[in-house]
A and B are shown apart, each in its own frame.
Chain A
Amino acid sequence: MRHLTVDVLAPGALIAVEIGVGESLRRALIREGKPVPPAVQIDLLIDTGASRTSVDTSVMRTLGLEPRSATEYTDFSSKGLSKQTDVYVVELVLGGVGTGNTWRHDPLEVLTESFLNLPHQGLLGRDVINRGQLSYNGATRKCTLSYT
């Protein structure tokens, strides 16, 4: 089993990830002679209260992605009412590319929201967390994601 441990600081447990175009789109771009945008490194807040992973809208623009689905969601601002949002398909890599800790998720559906002026550019939700084990050491203020 592999492990990723992060400090739990004032904003919460932030984890560095790389987000890029998935393999299916990458092949289509190459086939059409278009450039493949490089992956973007961002920080996500590990959030067990989020059922799905979400990323700032600007990241999707940087990657040149188009939405491929839609869903309904609720959050604090929606006052119990569900709202519709675009869903994008990405490749999400935790643990760094080409390391012994690489944890790749492709295809992964992500929602988009605005994370303007926040220390993180998205939320790592239970759709990813559920694929591993998450533990929190309150004494050391460290959070560990374990996965195979």
Chain B
Amino acid sequence: MITLEREYRLFQEMLPDLMSRAAGKYVVIHDAEIARICDTHKAALDWAYDTFGLDRFFVKEITEEKPVMHFHR
């Protein structure tokens, strides 16, 4: 089970709406709400750490991502 399951689920639920208005940007989710949308990953992290300190938060690019592929021994 992933740590940020609640936030990831919210992200997936909100993704169609986010894609229509902010594709390619980065969303910050905190306390089960979208807290901010930023243009870059760095800007989203800076804002989240400045605002929430070391508290729990979630940052993700707004994209229809394909599953990551890992092949190794």
Please determine whether B42 and A24 come into contact, CB atoms closer than 8 angstroms: yes
Q: Mark B20-57, 1 if CB is under 8 A from A, else 0.
A: 00000000000000000000011001101110011011
Q: Which residue of B lies closest to A89 (CB)?
A: B45
Q: At the interface, is chain A mostly helix, strand, loop or mixed?
A: mixed
With a cutoff of 8 Å between Cβ atoms, the chain A residues found around residue B50 in the complex are 28
Pick from B54, B69, B73: contact of A28, CB below 8 A.
B54
Task: State A49–B73 Cα separation when bound (angstroms).
Answer: 11
A51 CB within 8 Å of chain B: yes
The interface on chain B, measured as residues whose beta carbon lies within 8 A of the other chain's beta carbons, has a size of: 29
Please determine whether A70 and B45 come into contact, CB atoms closer than 8 angstroms: no
Given A74-B67, A123-B72; A32-B54 close (CB under 8 Å):
yes
Please determine whether A49 and B3 come into contact, CB atoms closer than 8 angstroms: no
Task: State A29–B53 Cα separation when bound (angstroms).
Answer: 8
Task: State A50–B72 Cα separation when bound (angstroms).
Answer: 8
Pick from B1, B45, B69, B71: contact of A22, CB below 8 A.
B45
With a cutoff of 8 Å between Cβ atoms, the chain B residues found around residue A34 in the complex are 54
A68 CB within 8 Å of chain B: yes
With a cutoff of 8 Å between Cβ atoms, the chain A residues found around residue B5 in the complex are 70, 84
Task: State A14–B30 Cα separation when bound (angstroms).
Answer: 38
**What would 30 A/B residue contacts be, using CB atoms closer than 8 Å?**
A24-B42, A24-B46, A24-B48, A25-B49, A27-B46, A27-B49, A28-B49, A28-B50, A28-B53, A28-B54, A31-B53, A32-B53, A47-B70, A47-B72, A49-B69, A49-B72, A50-B68, A50-B70, A50-B72, A69-B59, A69-B60, A70-B8, A72-B67, A73-B69, A74-B68, A75-B71, A86-B3, A107-B41, A111-B68, A123-B72
* Residues of B participating in the A interface, judged by any CB pair closer than 8 Å: 1-5, 7-8, 41-42, 45-46, 48-50, 53-54, 56-60, 65, 67-73
* Residues of A participating in the B interface, judged by any CB pair closer than 8 Å: 22, 24-25, 27-29, 31-32, 34, 45, 47, 49-52, 54, 66-76, 82, 84-86, 89, 107, 109, 111, 113, 118, 123, 125
